A and B are shown apart, each in its own frame.
Chain A
Amino acid sequence: MAFSSNSDAKLAHLLRRAGFGARPAEWASYQKMGLAAATQSLLHPEKTPDHLEALLQEIGGDYVDTNDLNSVRQWWLYRMVHTRRPLEEKMTLFWHNHFATAVYKVDNSQRMWAQNQTFRRYGMGSFRTLLQQVARDPAMLVWLDGRDNHVGKANENFAREVMELFTLGVGNGYTEQDVQEAARSFTGWQGGDGPGGFIYNPGAHDDGEKTVLGQTGNWHADDVCDILARHPQTARFLTTKLFRFFVGTEPAKSDIDKLSKVYLDNQFDIRAVLEAIFASDAFYSDAARFAKIKSPVEFCVMTIRAYDAPLSAARDLSRSLENMGQDLFNPPNVKGWSEGRDWINTRTLLARVNFASGLTDEMKNRVSLEGRLRAFAPTNNAPAIPTLGGGDSMSMMGAPAMNADAATVPASGALTAEFAVDALWNGLMTGMPLPASRRADLVAFCQKEDGKDDIASRLPGLFNLVVSAPEYQLC
């Protein structure tokens, strides 16, 4: 990877946030495109062929056993690890946590897989359409008891959570009455011969007038979804959540004013909101850089991609993710995973560190780690990798502080410890400063007691250490 001052840091930041980071070859091609074109490419996944689908059709047969949850998990992880449409997969992950639905109650892999496809298919278009799809989604009908919500025997669960968690936000202008009336509107689904094992039965639907959020009519599910999607409070709640997810900091009121307007002016189009977020000052601000803690999925998928590894190099990935606190398809409850610092506690941090060493161990048997390292390195003509002394805050908008002692690449020939440390740190965390004391500790690791470089045998350990470092948990 060739670096060149700040544009690399910004591009890497975009790729981490709008996807799962770049494999070496992808990085080169995004760099050629430049930031603006890269952003457009991410925002329009439909312009990149879904090579995974094509691949699978070429092979034929059942590539995923949708009745086996482990297979479905591996299928989704495979998509994230190998995707060429990263924002689409990232949004699928976002919706999985927003409309958090867990297999421990749904108890049916095929429905979980179908819900995942719904998030993928509708996740960057109109939020109203997505919401309408979710309201009739078979996994959701089980999860929030929609299948038991019938005329005369209302079940309020979905109506309450759709307002509290999926659209308006708790306490934001809906009453118990609204919940009850909405519940009546959502009636009608029951077990049957339709897709996912459910069918809409007009006889089970509570026909008649309902008043929801001040609007009266003979509402059905789609109507209430429309009322909710167009509500100004939904605009604020949803854009706030998207801002926090992509920018990583708390939005100012003006940020949300702007984004809400984009949402409402563009028929609730998610893509338009994302575009506005990526174009905002906040997104590329100092405050936003590395402000997020990687979720377990991000940690594992980003690391596998950064190593340019295949999914199979991460043995028992689902179990590792569970130990890190993110069991895919099994969020703890309908509010989803709480993210941020909640991802890190003694148990989950141990799981991350132990995962890192397992992955490196596997990789070193398959590829040359030295080869991977060199792929991270700046070329001889590019500016040296910035290293900052201890005490500097991250300042990426100005020119990076140049350290004349930063190691450059030997075009060929023996690696030095210093080069290895610089290349790996900057390759795995482009834009993250490397304080002098840290650098010294890592360089010392690569050397024997007599100070001679022992880089060849210590390289796997160095990969482990960088991926285990506190800084690497950020993105």
Chain B
Amino acid sequence: MSHSRREFISNGLGFVALGFTVPTMLMQASQAVAAEQTIANRGGKSGKILVVIEMAGGNDGLNTVAPISDPLYAKLRPTIGVKADDAVKIDKGLGLHPGMGALGKLYEKGQLAVVTGVGYPNPNRSHFQSMDIWQSGDPTLDARERSGWLARYFDEDGHSQGDPLAGVSMGGSLPLALWSKNSAASVVGNNAGEFGFAARGNAREAQLATLKTLYQQKGMSGGTVAAGAADFIRNVGDGIYGSSDAIKTALKTYDGKAAKGANYPRDNGLANGLQTVAKLIIGDLSTKVYYLSMGGFDTHANQPGNHAYLLKQLADAVAAFNADLEMQGRGKDVMVMTFSEFGRRAQENGSAGTDHGAASVMFATGAGVKGGVYGDYPSLDDLDDGDLKHHTDFRSVYATVLSNWLGVSAPKVLGGEFASLKFV
């Protein structure tokens, strides 16, 4: 067995993958099918839209919205605390992290609601368990079957089955929040315009037509795990056809309108995602809920620089998104909501960071929001095993959004009654 060096390298090892995109051909589905007909571009009739931003890792609420007028704060955070002079002051003796100047401006306009002390009973400090709790709206620790609170909203609103674009995740994966057995939701990347099947070579039309048949007709049957999986995959593929058309139509519509656009910050992944969302909204896509995720908040060490960077990214992106929608006359239709799976311990640790905690803050922004600070900041000398105590159950925030913004019965979606807040 001997190989020359050249043969070896031609077998792929010397090939360094740099980014080049393979151009995809956008193929229009040639026949309207029932599934596609239910995906109507409803124009401004998509009504109120919710944009959820997940801050993954456990965002340190105590440094995001800092109780700068409380002397205990500086004692708990001698190294990494926000300095009162640097903070962006809001009400109730609180200050936003200095990186969030852009959100401070929204606060001045009355378009930022800050909900403090949000959590749930028996706080869980595992990323995955707590994230499941937030996404399902169910704090039961060993829940066998979880479904997403937003997916249950779709079920309640009559969106299930019919419209795989009712919920759109702008990242690479479908979050639990958008998932239930009945509902369909789509995962669209930032290159929304490339969302469609490509085909190459001869008989392209015939390939696409046969592919469509493979996904519309049941193949394997029977009760095996395999048959179930095949059918699941088939349904996902089936949904792509109509969704692809609707998205392309929305982007064309956006291009047709006078696209003024706000100054979205560069080198900001969240901003890119939100800009795509703005295009789809302004292009009249029927989607009700967009979901984006931002990682990096698990700041066990070296928090100051990392956290500042992340919060600035968030604030600048949300502010630009807000401005874009206002310029295009859709500001009143869209609300952004942020959440994280938990806050962090009150006392900083020995690595200039913080460990997993409990209660934290949530933001809601938009022209339709009643700005202000909601709830008194949790006391720093009445901690729960080193963590902030919550006074507002996160399901109250969900209930507020469900009943006052999206217009459905919150108790049905949440499986219980939770008092609404007044931020919308």
CB distance from A209 to the nearest CB of B (A): 21
* A441-B210 CB under 8 A given contacts A51-B1, A287-B225: yes
The residue in chain B whose Cβ has the minimal distance to the Cβ of A326 is: B172
A78 touches B222 (CB 8 A): no
| Segment at the interface with B among A30-38, A129-137, A313-321 | A313-321
Per DSSP, chain B at the interface is loop
Residues of A within 8 A of B72 (CB): none
Q: Name the CB-closest residue of A to B220.
A: A471
Contact with A along B169-203 (1 / 0, CB 8 A): 10011100000000000111100000111111111
- State how many angstroms separate the Cβ of A311 from the closest Cβ of chain B: 3
Closest 6 CB pairs of A and B: A393-B222, A153-B350, A311-B12, A312-B12, A290-B226, A345-B187
Interface residue count for B (Cβ, 8 Å)? Answer: 81
- Cβ of B3 and Cβ of A58 under 8 Å apart? yes
Contact B226 A361 (CB under 8 A): no
The reply on B351 being an interface residue by CB < 8 A is yes
Set B5, B207, B232: member contacting A465, Cβ < 8 A: B207
Of chain A, the residue at the smallest CB distance from B197 is A353
Q: Is A438 an interface residue (CB 8 A)?
A: yes
Inter-subunit contact A249/B201 (CB<8 Å): no
Contact, CB under 8 Å: A394 / B222? yes
Which of B16, B201, B218, B239 sits near A461, CB closer than 8 Å?
A: B201
A148 touches B237 (CB 8 A): no
Interface residue range, chain A: 35 or more
B201 adjacent to A460 (CB under 8 Å): yes
Query: B218's closest neighbor in chain A, by CB?
Result: A390
| B206 lies within 8 A of A445 (CB) | yes
Question: Does residue B31 face the partner (Cβ distance < 8 Å to A)?
Answer: no
Chain A contacts for B300, CB-based, 8 A = 145, 148, 155, 157
Are A433 and B220 touching (Cβ within 8 A)? yes
Q: Does residue B259 face the partner (Cβ distance < 8 Å to A)?
A: no
A458 within 8 A of B: yes
Residues of A participating in the B interface, judged by any CB pair closer than 8 Å: 51, 54-55, 58-59, 63-64, 68, 70-71, 73-75, 77-78, 81-82, 104, 145, 148, 150, 152-157, 164, 170-171, 248-249, 286-293, 310-313, 315-319, 322-323, 325, 332-335, 341-342, 344-350, 353-354, 357-358, 360-361, 364, 390-394, 432-433, 435, 437-438, 441-442, 444-445, 454, 457-458, 460-461, 464-465, 468-471, 473-474
Which residues of A have CB within 8 Å of B22? 315-316, 354, 358
B17 is an interface residue with CB less than 8 A from chain A = yes
- Complex Cα distance, B234 from A282, in Å, reads 26
For residue B236, which residues in chain A have a CB less than 8 angstroms away from its CB? Answer: 344-346, 349
Q: Across the interface, which residues of B come within 8 angstroms of A350, CB to CB?
A: 195-197, 240
User: Which of B172, B202, B207, B215 is in CB contact (< 8 Å) with A348?
Assistant: B172
Q: Could you tell me if B201 and A360 are in contact, using CB atoms closer than 8 angstroms?
A: yes
Which residues, 208 to 257 on B, are CB-close (under 8 Å) to A? 210-211, 213-215, 217-227, 229-234, 236-237, 239-240, 243
- Least CB distance from A433 to B in Å reads 7
A471 touches B219 (CB 8 A): yes
Name 11 extra pairs, CB < 8 A, besides A145-B351, A354-B197.
A145-B301, A153-B350, A154-B349, A157-B300, A316-B19, A318-B17, A346-B195, A348-B187, A353-B198, A354-B22, A393-B221
Interchain nearest-CB distance for B130 vs A (Å) = 11
Are A394's CB and B202's CB within 8 A?
A: no
B8 surroundings in chain A (CB, below 8 A): 55, 59
Q: Which residue of B lies closest to A333 (CB)?
A: B127
Q: Provided the pairs A291-B229, A349-B236, A445-B210 are in contact, do residues A171 and B141 lie with their beta carbons within 8 angstroms?
A: yes
Residues of B within 8 A of A287 (CB): 224-225
* Residue of B with least CB distance to A149: B351
A148 touching B11, Cβ below 8 Å: no
In the bound complex, how far is the Cα of B194 from the Cα of A319, in angstroms?
Answer: 15
Which one of A64, A145, A349, A390 contacts B13 once the chains associate, using CB atoms below 8 Å?
A64
Beyond A287-B225, A289-B226, A312-B10, is A458–B203 a contact (Cβ under 8 Å)? yes
Q: What are 23 of the A-B contact pairs (CB < 8 Å)?
A: A68-B16, A78-B11, A78-B13, A150-B350, A290-B229, A291-B225, A319-B21, A335-B127, A344-B233, A344-B236, A346-B164, A346-B186, A349-B233, A350-B240, A353-B198, A361-B200, A394-B222, A461-B203, A469-B214, A470-B234, A473-B230, A474-B226, A474-B233
Of B1, B198, B203, B206, the contact of A357 (CB 8 Å cutoff)? B198
Does residue B403 face the partner (Cβ distance < 8 Å to A)? no
Query: Chain B nearest CB: distance from A281 CB in Å?
Result: 16
Beyond A392-B222, A464-B207, whether A341 also contacts B229 by CB under 8 A is: yes
| Chain A positions within 8 Å of B12 at CB level | 74, 77-78, 81, 310-313
Cα–Cα distance between A445 and B206 once the two chains are bound (Å):
7
Question: How many angstroms from the CA of A454 to the CA of B207 in the assembled complex?
Answer: 13
B126 contacts the other chain (Cβ, under 8 Å)? yes
Contact indicator B229/A293 (Cβ below 8 Å): yes
The answer to whether A312 touches B15, judged by C-beta atoms less than 8 angstroms apart, is yes
Min distance, Cβ A437 to any Cβ of chain B, angstroms: 6
- Taking a contact as CB atoms closer than 8 A, the residue among B13, B229, B295, B355 that contacts A474 in the complex is B229
**A355 to B215 CA separation, bound complex (whole angstroms):** 17
Report the bound CA distance from A401 to B226 in whole Å: 19
Q: Report the minimal beta-carbon distance from B215 to chain A, rounded to whole angstroms.
A: 7
Task: Decide yes or no whether B409 CB sits under 8 A from chain A.
Answer: no
B56 within 8 A of A: yes
